[in-house]
């Protein structure tokens, strides 16, 4: 279904999955790894996080073809203890490294109660919530951090010195697949959201970014030349700063101005770091009691008084869960601009299929 007024087309999950997988396989990604990467992208689109969805595919393909990301994953274990896993990702796809790292952390947390996975020399891995939710789906708590290319100035600064460095925390509830999911960048908005606004030809809020001169702007094209504004002012900068230490510095990856942009810098690899903690709540109480208390907390939020004009109060991740349910049944909206870009990509690399 095409909505010309909104400039979008609704495409079913399976159609997008097949198309994107074939594109990645065409540039040398093994089929099984391509499926993991595409699952990450489409999970973001299904949850309404288009900034981390199929929009990313052309950038990934370009980086692979330039040798900045490895088509076939390679990685080494630098440390392996009962509670810690340290991986050298060797510039492989972030989704493959992230999936391996969180899987191992889940296995170790089941035995030890808590586990940590750290990735050195990683690449962009999509939405951090994708990995944190894997822990929650296994009756565990997941905490995931990554650093990014610098886009945020120090409080009062005029040049970018830290990334928007997102954090995701996912907590299980009694309802299958409906985790509590915080997934937030330390900038007021993710860079990908500005790119998405540019693709859609839409303005952005003045609180999101500045132009190259440091003046707040509603033009996404100018914003991509400028600086991202931190959420919460100096507090957002402080969080981004310490997250940079836990991801980039601790792992031995690049950090601050040394990290390259996944979108803009096609002359060098990223070498980002990732940090994942998994906690078993059953160490503290019976699992059923824990999720019951989480559910009670959610109900307190839902039934608390609302201000005038507000119909519903949401807990973190609830809106995305509702969107996931809807789009799983009805399909994923893709802007016509992104659709054209994906079809051009397929044509350029020799994939016959098109998203018509």
CATH code, 325: 1.10.1530.10
In a domain, 342, yes or no: yes
The tokens describing 344, both together, are 């051009």
Domain boundary among 260, 283, 303: 303
Reduced to 3 states (helix: H, G, I; strand: E, B; else coil), residue 183 is strand
Burial of 267 (0-12, 13-18, 19+ CB in 10 A): exposed
In a domain, 212, yes or no: no
In a domain, 295, yes or no: yes
Q: Is 123 found in the same domain as 46?
A: no
Q: Which of 7-21, 30-44, 152-166, 245-259 has the lowest mean pLDDT?
A: 152-166
Task: Note whether 95 and 81 are within 8 A (CB).
Answer: no
Q: Is 39 found in the same domain as 15?
A: yes
| C-alpha of 140 from chain center | 20
Query: Within the chain, where are the H helices?
Result: 13-26, 31-46, 57-65, 94-112, 129-136, 191-200, 220-223, 234-244, 250-251, 287-302, 318-330, 336-349
In a domain, 321, yes or no: yes
- Count structural domains, the chain: 2
Instruction: Over range 309-334, report the average pLDDT.
Output: 96
In a domain, 332, yes or no: yes
Residues with Cβ < 8 Å from 77, sequence gap 6 or more? 85, 86, 87, 88
The CA-atom distances, in angstroms, between 7 and each of 2, 36, 203, 280, 319 are: 8, 29, 15, 45, 23
In a domain, 169, yes or no: yes
Q: Is 320 found in the same domain as 277?
A: no
Residue 325's pLDDT is what?
95
Task: Note whether 318 and 196 are within 8 A (CB).
Answer: no
| Tens digit of each residue's pLDDT (9 = 90 or more) over 299-311 | 999 999 999 999 9
Q: Is 98 found in the same domain as 139?
A: yes
Provide the domain limits for residue 148: 77-187+230-303
Q: How many CB atoms lie within 10 A of CB 194?
A: 24
Q: Is 294 found in the same domain as 242?
A: yes
282 DSSP 8-state letter:
G
| C-alpha of 155 from chain center | 25
Mean pLDDT of all residues belonging to the chain: 94
- The angle at the Cα of 339, spanning 333 to 345, to the nearest 5 degrees, equals 145
Overall pTM surpassing 0.85 (yes/no): yes
User: What is the phi/psi pair of residue 248, to 5°?
Assistant: -75, -50
| Tens digit of each residue's pLDDT (9 = 90 or more) over 44-69 | 999 999 989 999 999 999 999 999 99
Instruction: Over range 29-41, report the average pLDDT.
Output: 98
Q: How many CA atoms lie within 13 A of 13 on its CB side?
A: 19
Instruction: Over range 274-291, report the average pLDDT.
Output: 98
In a domain, 166, yes or no: yes
In a domain, 37, yes or no: yes
Residue 5's pLDDT is what?
47
Q: Is 297 found in the same domain as 265?
A: yes
356 pLDDT more than 90: no
| Tens digit of each residue's pLDDT (9 = 90 or more) over 149-206 | 998 988 878 889 999 999 999 999 998 878 999 999 999 987 778 888 998 899 999 9
Q: Is 146 found in the same domain as 26?
A: no
Q: Which CATH number characterizes residue 284's domain? A: 3.30.1370.60
Q: Is 241 found in the same domain as 128?
A: yes
The CA-atom distances, in angstroms, between 249 and each of 86, 100, 307 are: 13, 21, 43
Q: Is 252 found in the same domain as 155?
A: yes
291 pLDDT more than 80: yes
4 pLDDT more than 70: no
Q: Is 158 found in the same domain as 122?
A: yes
Q: Is 239 found in the same domain as 161?
A: yes
């Amino acid at each position: 279904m095409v909505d010309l007024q909104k400039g979008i087309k609704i495409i079913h999950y399976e159609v997008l999955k097949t198309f994107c997988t074939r594109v990645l396989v065409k540039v040398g990604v093994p089929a099984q790894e391509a499926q993991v990467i595409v699952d990450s992208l489409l999970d973001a689109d299904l949850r309404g996080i288009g900034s981390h969805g199929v929009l990313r595919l052309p950038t990934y393909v370009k980086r692979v073809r330039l040798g900045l990301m490895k088509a076939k994953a390679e990685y080494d274990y630098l440390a392996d203890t009962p509670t810690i896993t340290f991986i050298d990702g060797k510039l492989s796809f972030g989704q493959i490294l992230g999936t391996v790292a969180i899987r191992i952390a889940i296995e170790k947390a089941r035995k030890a109660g808590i586990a940590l996975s750290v990735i050195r020399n990683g690449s962009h891995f999509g939405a951090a919530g994708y990995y944190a939710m894997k822990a929650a789906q296994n009756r565990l708590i997941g905490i995931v951090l990554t650093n990014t290319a610098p886009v945020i100035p120090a409080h009062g600064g005029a040049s970018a010195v830290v990334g928007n460095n997102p954090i995701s925390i996912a907590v299980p509830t009694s309802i299958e697949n409906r985790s509590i999911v915080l997934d937030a960048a330390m900038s007021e908005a993710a860079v990908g959201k500005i790119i998405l606004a540019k693709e859609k030809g839409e303005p952005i809020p003045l609180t999101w970014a500045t132009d190259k001169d440091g003046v707040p702007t509603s033009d996404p094209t100018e914003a991509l030349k400028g600086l991202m504004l931190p959420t919460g002012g100096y507090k957002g900068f402080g969080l981004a700063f310490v997250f940079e230490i836990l991801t980039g510095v601790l792992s031995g990856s690049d950090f601050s101005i040394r990290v390259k942009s996944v979108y803009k810098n096609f002359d060098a690899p990223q070498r980002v770091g990732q940090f994942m903690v998994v906690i078993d709540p059953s160490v503290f109480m019976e699992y059923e009691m824990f999720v019951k208390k989480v559910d009670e907390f959610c109900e307190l939020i839902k039934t608390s008084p609302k201000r005038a004009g507000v119909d519903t109060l949401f807990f973190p991740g609830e809106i995305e869960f509702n969107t996931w349910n809807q789009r799983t049944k009805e399909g994923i909206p893709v802007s016509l601009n992104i659709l054209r870009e994906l079809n051009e990509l397929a044509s350029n690399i020799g994939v016959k299929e098109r998203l018509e």
